[in-house]
């Protein structure tokens, strides 16, 4: 996400950082560079201009300050303005006081509307809100099938009626069913077209009037840059949408849509889709996203991810044990398994401050390597896992054969493990959680 934008901004700031004091000319030159980078990322021209005016005003003061790195202060000014451009604060889903809350999903065909309806339903269900999906896209027959398949996968009920093309009736009947079932939320998946057309907008307006949605979420393909913004305006004029979801942000989206859509429509980005899988939906936090773009890292998202994935009781048990008896390969295996649940390592590392695309390339993070490490540990006997010192030459050979890896790899892992044990001893003295072993260092 935003790799290119991030890399270019970083290069710009790195040049400024090289200078001790920043003159006004330095700042002007730096900001010209920032302007170019934003326009290349397909950010709206007007917004870019306003953004730079505000940054420049605030930045001039920076040249006069002493004692603090002026380039770093400039980054802070840019960070604040980027946050404002992305939407200021995080806004979650609004819920109506009388259930069910009705959420209408709108957007062009192929934007990811149906998939996102499923993702959102999954998220709400995980939060303990009983949710129902309504299939109101009657033109594309496969759309109903697609939603029903999603519902089955997620174990979430789907209301569909193939006997009619009257979407208002379908939505009303679906909501009636939801009321009887005491659902908390219903998500209405509506039809999309390849382009905005009057007939579709008419239908959506009628649907809106009939179901009185609390939220109308416009789903946009984040890869399409300013085109997404233009379409958002069209939908907003007709329907007065309440929020935006940007999909496909896992790809090489240049960032233009994310950086412009709030500024132009003033409608908050509520979520972003970051993959095809149904758990790939993230809350959108403007400040954290600005932090990611400027490589200040997104530790908070990382921590939340870890919290929702790690089994807390298990983590506590592990921490206590490691503190008392030190770490062995059994604990290592447990941690490795939990790490894998968190998702690809590369995605996690990107959330850390200062980790950029070129560093990731250098680190040669290979998901296969984690699998190899796991295979090696699994080939150890329980006694060996408890007491790594047992592993002499012949045992190492056996483990290598058993796991299909080389003896060198087994030796490397054992060496790394010893080092890690040493570090753990030092760290647990300070009362901290066991770290993340398995991170290539």
Q: Which of residues 115-144 bind ligand GDP (CB under 6 A)?
A: 115
275 binds ligand GDP per the rule CB under 6 A: yes
> What mask, x for binding ligand GDP by CB under 6 A, covers residues 36 to 75?
----------------------------------------
> Nearer Cβ to ligand GDP, position 149 or 416?
149
| Residue 273 binds to ligand GDP (criterion: CB under 6 A) | yes
Across 77-184, the runs of DSSP E, i.e. the strands, are 101-106, 131-136, 158-159
The string of DSSP codes covering 230-278 is HHHHHHHHHH---EEEEE-TTS---SHHHHHHHHHH---EEEEE-SSST
Q: Is 424 in the site for ligand GDP (CB under 6 A)?
A: no
CA–CA dist 425, 415 (Å, integer) = 16
CA gap 438, 372 in Å, rounded: 11
Give whichever of 348 and 410 is closer to ligand GDP, judged by the CB atom: 348
Site string for ligand GDP, 279-308 (x = CB under 6 A): -x----------------------------
224 makes contact with ligand GDP (CB under 6 A): no
CA 233-236-238 angle, to 5 degrees, is 115
User: Is residue 76 annotated as involved in ligand binding?
Assistant: no
Question: What's the CA gap between 256 and 85, in Å, rounded?
Answer: 11
Q: At what angle do helices 167-180 and 198-211 cross, to 10 degrees?
A: 30
| 197 is an annotated ligand-binding site residue | no
Cβ 215 to ligand GDP, closest distance in Å?
Answer: 17
Of 22-30, 81-89, 156-164, 272-280, which part binds ligand GDP (CB under 6 A)? 272-280
Find out whether 243 is annotated in a ligand binding site. no
| 308 has binding-site annotation | no
| Contact region with ligand GDP (CB under 6 A), list: 3-11, 108-116, 236-244, 262-270 | 108-116
The strand pair at 185-190 and 215-221 is best described as: unpaired
**Separation of CA 90 from chain center:** 13
189-to-61, 91, 349 alpha-carbon distances in Å:
50, 21, 35
Angle, helices 407-429 vs 393-403, to 10°: value is: 110
Segment near ligand GDP (CB under 6 A), from 25-33, 160-168, 274-282, 336-344? 274-282
Residue 107 among known ligand-binding residues: yes
23 a known binding residue?
Answer: no
Q: Is 426 annotated as a binding residue?
A: no
Kindly tell me which of 272 and 327 has the beta carbon lying closer to ligand GDP: 272
Residue closer to ligand GDP (CB basis): 252 or 311: 252
Alpha carbon separation from 96 to 93, 153, 215, 376 (Å, rounded): 10, 27, 9, 53
Q: Looking at 184, 248, 305, 405, which residue binds ligand GDP (CB under 6 A)?
A: 248
Q: Known binder of ligand: residue 195?
A: no
Contacting residue, 92, 110, 344, 440, with ligand GDP by CB under 6 A: 110
Asked if 112 touches ligand GDP (CB under 6 A), the answer is yes
> How many Å apart are CA 139 and CA 194, to the nearest integer?
13
Q: Which stretch binds ligand GDP (CB under 6 A): 76-84, 273-281, 318-326, 384-392?
A: 273-281
How far apart CA 395 and CA 281 sit, in angstroms, is 45
Task: For residues 120 and 133, give the distance between their C-alpha atoms in angstroms, rounded to a whole number.
Answer: 10
Give the footprint of ligand GDP on this chain (CB under 6 A): 107, 109-115, 192, 247-248, 250-251, 273-276, 280
- Binding-site positions for GTP read 107-114, 189-193, 247-250
């Amino acid at each position: 996400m935003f790799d290119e934008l991030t890399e270019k901004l970083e290069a710009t700031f790195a040049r400024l950082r090289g200078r001790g004091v920043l003159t006004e000319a330095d700042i002007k030159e730096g900001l010209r560079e920032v302007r170019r980078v934003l326009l290349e990322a397909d950010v709206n021209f007007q917004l870019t201009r306003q953004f730079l005016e505000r940054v420049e005003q605030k930045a001039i003061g920076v040249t006069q300050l002493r004692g603090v790195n002026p380039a770093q202060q400039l980054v802070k000014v840019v960070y604040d303005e980027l946050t404002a451009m992305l939407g200021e604060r995080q806004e979650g889903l609004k819920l109506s006081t009388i259930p069910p809350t009705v959420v209408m999903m709108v957007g062009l065909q192929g934007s990811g509307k149906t998939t996102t309806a499923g993702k959102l339903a999954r998220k709400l269900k995980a939060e303990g809100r009983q949710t129902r999906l309504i299939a109101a896209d009657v033109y594309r027959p496969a759309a109903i099938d697609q939603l029903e398949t999603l519902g089955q996968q997620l174990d979430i009920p789907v209301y569909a009626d193939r006997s009619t093309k009257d979407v208002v009736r379908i939505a009303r009947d679906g909501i009636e069913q939801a009321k009887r079932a005491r659902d908390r939320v219903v998500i209405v998946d509506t039809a999309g077209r390849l382009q905005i057309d009057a007939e579709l907008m008419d239908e959506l307006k009628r649907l809106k009037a009939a179901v009185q949605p609390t939220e109308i979420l416009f789903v946009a393909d984040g890869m399409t840059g300013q085109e997404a913004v233009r379409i958002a305006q069209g939908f907003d004029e007709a329907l007065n949408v309440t929020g935006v979801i940007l999909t496909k942000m896992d790809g090489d989206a240049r960032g233009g849509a994310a950086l412009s859509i709030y500024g132009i429509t003033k409608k908050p980005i509520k979520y972003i889709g970051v993959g095809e899988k149904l758990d790939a939906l993230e809350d959108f936090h403007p400040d954290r996203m600005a932090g990611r773009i400027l490589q200040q890292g997104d530790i908070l998202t990382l921590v939340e991810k870890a919290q929702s994935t790690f089994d807390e009781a298990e983590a506590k048990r592990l921490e206590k044990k490691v503190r008392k008896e030190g770490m062995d390969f059994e604990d290592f295996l447990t941690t490795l398994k939990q790490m894998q649940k968190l998702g690809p390592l590369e995605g996690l590392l990107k959330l850390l401050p200062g980790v950029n695309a070129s560093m990731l390339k250098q680190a040669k993070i290979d998901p296969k390597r984690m699998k190899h490490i796991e295979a090696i540990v699994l080939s150890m006997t329980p006694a060996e896992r408890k007491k790594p010192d047992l592993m002499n030459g012949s045992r190492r050979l056996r483990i290598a054969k058993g796991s299909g890896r080389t003896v060198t790899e087994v030796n490397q892992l054992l060496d790394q493990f010893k080092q890690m044990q040493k570090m753990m001893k030092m760290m647990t003295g300070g009362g901290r959680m066991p770290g993340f072993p398995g991170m290539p260092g």
